[in-house]
Amino acid sequence: MNKKDIPLNHLAIIMDGNGRWALNKDLPRTSGHAAGEHSLSRTIDWAISNKIKWLTVYAFSTENWLRSSDEVDYLMFFNRDLLIRRRDEFNQKGVKFRFLGDLGDSKIPNENKILMKETEEITFQNSNLNLVFAFNYGSHNEIHSAAVNLHNNNLEKELSIKDVQRSFYSYFQYPEIPYPDLLLRTAGEKRISNFLLYQLAYTELIFIDDLWPDVNQDILDNVLLEFKSRNRTYGKN
């Protein structure tokens, strides 16, 4: 198969730069998050029209609780408000939501938990695009939880290394999610920030300087071209 024929099946995005976008415009950081909603919506439309089946977006990390309480409160409000305002529209577009992360955390407001559960239920039958919304997500938590689940489910058994290798990923929250083909991070930072550490083993990485609220379909087209020019060899040659 020609490498140009390799489809982009799963795109993961670290949506970064909302705060800087707002500061550049002398606006409060929170308005950068609000502006990022339009980029997310554009990206969903773009992914559907490019037949990308999986889109994982980093919306709130386990480390983002360290921000000011005003910003954290805003982000909790913003994420539930977004679902209230737009989930019907996303549902009509055939988007199936999954929320990836520690959703049982008592720091997450109950209204958010209810809305996330309802949104998963409402969009369950959809199949145009699988949208994985990483919320209160951190890879270290995810990997540690998988290790605990594996232990608790195999108390009576003596597992070999091979058994662990074969089954470890099945103890993740959503083992049916394929590994990302491409990770995109916006806003110029070149780090992973505790995102999908296990799943990114052979993922192509693209870092762009554009701030997340500025991302549009032209920028995404260029990212896709760059991805298609890569040669994925998985250690072979």
Q: What residues are annotated to the active site? A: 16, 64
Binding partner selected for residue 20 from Mg ion, ligand IPE, none, CB under the kind-specific 5 to 8 Å limit: ligand IPE
Binding partner selected for residue 59 from ligand IPE, Mg ion, none, CB under the kind-specific 5 to 8 Å limit: ligand IPE
Least distance to ligand IPE, CB of residue 188, Å: 9
Asked if 184 and 40 count as a contact pair (C-beta separation under 8 A), the reply is no
Binding partner selected for residue 61 from Mg ion, ligand IPE, none, CB under the kind-specific 5 to 8 Å limit: ligand IPE
Tell me the torsion sign for CA atoms 99, 101, 102, 108.
Answer: negative
- Cβ-based nearer residue to ligand IPE, 16 or 142: 16
| Sheet containing 10-14: order of strands | 95-100, 129-137, 54-61, 10-14, 182-185, 204-207
Answer for which of 11, 12, 15, 182 binds ligand IPE (CB under 6 A) is 15
Asked if 15 and 184 count as a contact pair (C-beta separation under 8 A), the reply is no
Give the whole-angstrom CA distance, residue 38 versus residue 106.
29
Give the whole-angstrom CA distance, residue 128 versus residue 96.
8
Using CB under 5 A as the binding rule, whether residue 16 contacts Mg ion is answered as yes
Stretch that binds ligand IPE, among 57-65, 87-95, 116-124, 148-156 (CB under 6 A): 57-65
Stretch that binds ligand IPE, among 60-68, 81-89, 104-112, 224-232 (CB under 6 A): 60-68
Stretch that binds ligand IPE, among 56-64, 110-118, 158-166, 202-210 (CB under 6 A): 56-64
Site residues for Mg ion, 84-103, by CB under 5 A, read none
Nearest to 173 by CA among 106, 234, 120: 120
Asked if 184 and 14 count as a contact pair (C-beta separation under 8 A), the reply is yes
- Cβ-based nearer residue to ligand IPE, 38 or 166: 38
Give the whole-angstrom CA distance, residue 163 versus residue 76.
40
Answer for which of 11, 44, 187, 206 binds ligand IPE (CB under 6 A) is 187
- Cβ-based nearer residue to ligand IPE, 137 or 171: 137
- Cβ-based nearer residue to ligand IPE, 47 or 75: 75
* Alpha helices (runs of H) in 7-124, residue ranges in sequence order: 18-24, 29-49, 69-92, 110-122
Give the whole-angstrom CA distance, residue 205 versus residue 182.
6
Site residues for ligand IPE, 16-35, by CB under 6 A, read 16-20
Which residues of this chain interact with ligand IPE, rule CB under 6 A?
A: 14-20, 58-61, 64, 75, 187, 189, 191, 193
